[in-house]
Amino acid sequence: MKEVDTLLDLLESVVAGIDEYVEIRYHKRIETIIDARNASLRKVERRTLAGAGVRSLVDGCWGFVSTTDVSREGLASAVREAVQAAKAGAPLRDEKVNLAPASLGTGKFIYYDDQGEPDISQKIEYVLNAEKRMREASALVVGSIVHYLQYEDEKFIVTSDGAAAHIKDNKPSFHVTATVFRDGKRETATKSSGITGGWDDLIKKKALSELVDNAVDVAIKKLDADYAKGGRYTVILDPKLVGILSHEAIGHTVEADFVLSGSIVQGKLGQKVASELVTLVDAGSVDGAAGMVLVDDEGVLSEPTVIIDKGVLESYLHNRESAAIFGTTPHGNARAFTYRDEPIIRMTNTFIMPGESDLEEMISGIDEGFLLIDLAHGGQADSSAEFMFGVSEAYRIENGNLEGLVKGVTISGQAFDVLMSVDAVSSDFQIDTGAGHCGKWQPAKVDGGGPYLRCQVTVGGWHDE
């Protein structure tokens, strides 16, 4: 019998015969970091974290225990402790937890083939060559950072009501930052890319050399760029900014735990919240996207959730607990970062569906505005859907023509007002925000994107001087 089958059998045998609901999630993660900057290899790390998270639901109360002892005795002990913790807490809990029925995962869910994965020495060489390429791209380059991050995950998830899934997952990403200096002016530009898949898949998505060249080019262009004049404008958001808006400003407001806490969309199912051109989806089943999750950490199979359908709010995002409260079905949005974390409601890949407009025609329809590309220096959003994001590249649009780059641009507004103002959605479509993490109490790899959107936002200016 193969080792992986033995482990799955072991978890099932520990759960068998227990009267209470029990969930065991074994998770092994190998994390690799390679960081090169300013002609130096600053960091090479390869570390493994492995163990099991055990939850039990007794009389409407959760008990959770994590352990690194995955022997039969160790797991059985963790189950007993989780059951005891739940029993001890149950009399103190007024609002009892129930679990909604769900489609549960069984069998193998293999996201990638690791046979062609290069060894770490080859990856180091690739990263060092890219950092050297950045330094040699221009005499103006005074700072160079090339960073590689990889999460190689294997999970076995077993629940007492039928889940029995073996999952293999790999999420690598590149991050590059170029800093240039001339005549007392300093500018930076950052580019990144992340996926679910192997090394070759990451390179095919976007070669590291392409990211490096793009970062240097944008940073140099910013040296000669003027600052934007603030005001209310018609703009076109590129797929990356559409993904950031979809995730940060919309997606968090529809996570059911935030809805129950009073987010702006509470009680608005069935109401119009966006232009009829807007359909917003969260789907863990998008092949290769960094938020790919075929089975979530409660053992629930992933299914697409249409959050907004042609402008109408249709659904929230759920785990089994919140789905029971709302009387609906969960679609695989319960996620935990490591075995030591309890699953919470999280997005996967969140995106707006493409439309029928042509980008050039969208630009030609603007008298005065901007084409906005990629996130710059972070941003913020809250449960009221108010947001502010920095923009990496902003190009003026005047009389329907695309003009030069301006720098120091931020955009802000209320996300649902922005979606209401959408009057054109391109047929172009891309999911490409998967290099980073979502940070809701614990990190999670997510992705997002969409088409180009023409809408109205408030444009502000910022600069380092």
Strands (E), 9-122: 21-37, 40-58, 61-67, 106-110
Distances (CA, A) of 245 to 368, 416, 457: 22, 10, 12
Distances (CA, A) of 77 to 9, 14, 83, 236, 297: 17, 10, 10, 57, 21
CA distance 55 to 65: 7
CA distance 350 to 282: 4
Structure confidence at residue 382 (pLDDT): 84
Structure confidence at residue 380 (pLDDT): 78
Structure confidence at residue 387 (pLDDT): 94
Can you read off the two tokens belonging to residue 199?
Answer: 């090394």
Assign a CATH topology to domain 3-223: PmbA/TldD fold (3.30.2290)
Structure confidence at residue 381 (pLDDT): 85
CA distance 272 to 372: 26
**DSSP classification of residue 228:** P
Structure confidence at residue 1 (pLDDT): 37
Structure confidence at residue 462 (pLDDT): 53
User: pTM surpassing 0.75?
Assistant: yes
Q: What is the largest CA-CA distance in the chain?
A: 74
In a structure prediction context, what are the per-residue pLDDT tens digits for the chain, which is 465 residues long?
355 568 999 999 999 989 999 999 999 999 999 999 999 999 999 999 999 999 999 999 999 999 999 999 999 999 999 999 999 999 999 999 999 999 999 999 998 888 889 999 999 999 999 999 999 999 999 999 999 999 999 999 999 999 999 999 999 999 999 999 999 999 999 999 999 999 999 999 999 999 999 999 999 999 999 999 999 999 999 999 999 999 999 999 999 999 999 999 999 999 999 999 999 999 999 999 999 999 999 999 999 999 999 999 999 999 999 999 999 999 999 999 999 999 999 999 999 999 999 999 999 999 999 999 999 876 778 889 999 999 999 999 999 999 999 999 999 999 999 999 999 999 999 999 999 899 899 999 999 999 999 999 999 865 443
Nearest to 174 by CA among 140, 143, 201, 154: 201
Report H helices in 53-194.
72-89, 120-137
CA distance 322 to 141: 51
Distances (CA, A) of 251 to 262, 347, 349, 352, 415: 14, 7, 10, 11, 10
Structure confidence at residue 5 (pLDDT): 63
Q: Domain-by-domain residue ranges, the chain? A: 3-223, 226-461
CA distance 317 to 319: 7
Structure confidence at residue 112 (pLDDT): 86
- Residue 137, classified by CB atoms within 10 Å of its CB into exposed (0-12), middle (13-18) or buried (19+), is buried
For residue 282, the SS3 value is: strand
- Residue 290 contacts residue 169 (beta carbons within 8 Å): no
CA distance 234 to 240: 18
For residue 102, the SS3 value is: coil
Q: Which residues pair with 395 in a beta bridge?
A: 371, 405
- Residue 378 contacts residue 390 (beta carbons within 8 Å): yes
